[in-house]
Amino acid sequence: MPQAWLWWCLSHLTVAALGTWLLRRYALHRRLLDHPGERRSHVVATPRGGGMAIVAALLSGCVAAGVFWPAAGPILGWFAAGLVLVAGVGWWDDHRPLSARLRFAIHLLASVMLGWLVSHHTGNLWDGVLTAMASVVLINVWNFMDGINGLASSQAALAALAFAAVVPGAWAWAGLAVAAACLGFLPFNFPRARIFLGDGGSGALGYVLAALLALTVASGQVSWWISWLPLTAFLVDAGFTLLSRMLAGQRWWEPHAQHLYQRLARRLETHVPVTGIYFAFSVAAVCLYVLIRHDATWLQVPGALVWGLGATAIWFFLRDGLRNS
C-alpha cells in the first residue's frame, strides 16, 4: 500500500507540474497576464491560469480511481462534473471577464450538486446543506485569498493532508491527490511567481476542499463542529475583511488589497515570510484538529470556539497595528 500511495502522489504531482509548465507557455503566448496595480500585490506582469494543471491532475485521478474502483464511478463522475463547472467558468473568466452574477450562479449550481451527492450517500439532508454552503464559501474564499506567492496552494495542500490524515486508508487517497497536485504547481508560484493559479484554479481548490471536508465528516472521523479548523487562517482573514468592507459601505465584491496577508506583504515588502506565517499558523490549527477529533462534543465545541476567537483577536490586533504604524 505505501508503494501504491507513492505512485499515486507522484502521478498527480507530475501531471500538475508538467501541466503548469505547458500552461505558462500558453498564457505567455495568449498574453493572459495579470498586470501590477494598486489592487494587486505583485510588481511584474505574470501569467495566470496555472491552477488548471491542478484540475487536470485531479480529473485524471478521478478517471484512474473509477477504473480501479468501478463502484465509485458515479460518485467520482458527479464530483468531477461540479469541478469542471467551477474550473471552467473561472478559466473562461481568465480569458474574457464574466459578470459576477453568472460566476456565482455556476458556483452555486456546482455546490448544490456537491451537496446533493453528500446528502444522497449519507442519508442526511443537513450534511448536504452544510456541504453546499461550505462549497460556496470556500470557492470564493480561495479566490479572495489567492493574492501572494504560494499562499493559496500551500494552504490547500496542508488542509488536504490534514483531511487525509484523519480518514480511513482508502478515503485518504483523495486528500493525498489534492496535496500532491498542489505541490506540483507550487514551485512555479513560490518563492517567485512565474504563473498564478487564476480564477479557475483558485475556485476549483475551494470546491475540492469543501468536498474533502464533507468526506471527513461522512467518514465518521470528524464532526462538523471542528471540520473547519484546518481552514481557519483563510476563513478569518477573508471573512472579517469582507465584513469590514461591507460595514464601511465599500463595494465589497470588487477586487481590493485590504486582506491582512496583503497588508503584511506590503509592510514586509516580500511575500515569502507572509506565506510562511500563514503556514505556521495553519500547522498549529491542524495539530488541534487532529488532537481533538475524537473528543466528546462538549469538549470539541469550546476548543474550536477558543481557537476561532483567538484567531479573530490576532487578526484584529495585526490589522490595527498595520493601520496605525
C-beta of residue 209 within 8 angstroms of C-beta of residue 41:
no
pLDDT at 325: 52
pLDDT at 290: 96
Q: Is 140 annotated as a binding-site member?
A: no
Q: Residue 78 contacts by C-beta under 8 Å, 6 or more apart in sequence?
A: 113, 117
C-beta of residue 196 within 8 angstroms of C-beta of residue 146:
yes
* 34 closest CA partner among 90, 95, 107, 102: 95
| Interatomic CA distance for residues 243 and 82, integer angstroms | 28
Say how many residues make up the chain.
325
- Per-residue confidence in pLDDT tens, the chain, 325 aa: 578 889 999 999 999 999 999 999 999 999 999 888 766 777 788 999 999 999 999 999 999 999 999 999 999 999 999 999 999 999 999 999 999 999 999 999 999 999 999 999 999 999 999 999 999 999 999 999 999 999 999 999 999 999 999 998 888 999 999 999 999 999 999 999 999 999 999 999 999 999 999 999 999 999 999 999 999 999 999 999 999 999 988 887 777 889 999 999 999 999 999 999 999 999 999 999 999 999 999 999 999 999 999 999 999 999 988 876 5
Cβ neighbours of 49 (radius 10 Å): 25
| Interatomic CA distance for residues 145 and 129, integer angstroms | 24
**Residue 34 bridge partners (DSSP):** 46
C-beta of residue 146 within 8 angstroms of C-beta of residue 197:
yes
Cβ neighbours of 61 (radius 10 Å): 23
3-state secondary structure of 72: helix
Q: Residue 120 contacts by C-beta under 8 Å, 6 or more apart in sequence?
A: 128
pTM: 0.96
> What are the structural domain ranges in the chain?
2-324
3-state secondary structure of 168: coil
Amino acid symbol at 304: A
C-beta of residue 299 within 8 angstroms of C-beta of residue 280:
no
Amino acid symbol at 196: F
| Interatomic CA distance for residues 188 and 202, integer angstroms | 15
pLDDT at 324: 64
3-state secondary structure of 121: helix
Amino acid symbol at 47: P
pLDDT at 1: 57
Pairing of strands 46-47, 33-34: antiparallel
| Interatomic CA distance for residues 78 and 57, integer angstroms | 17
Q: Is 199 annotated as a binding-site member?
A: yes
Cβ neighbours of 23 (radius 10 Å): 24
Q: Where are the beta strands (DSSP E) in 18-65?
A: 33-34, 46-47
- Separation in Å, CA 56 to CA 84, 147, 177: 10, 22, 12
pLDDT at 75: 95
Find cell 472521523 and name the residue: 221
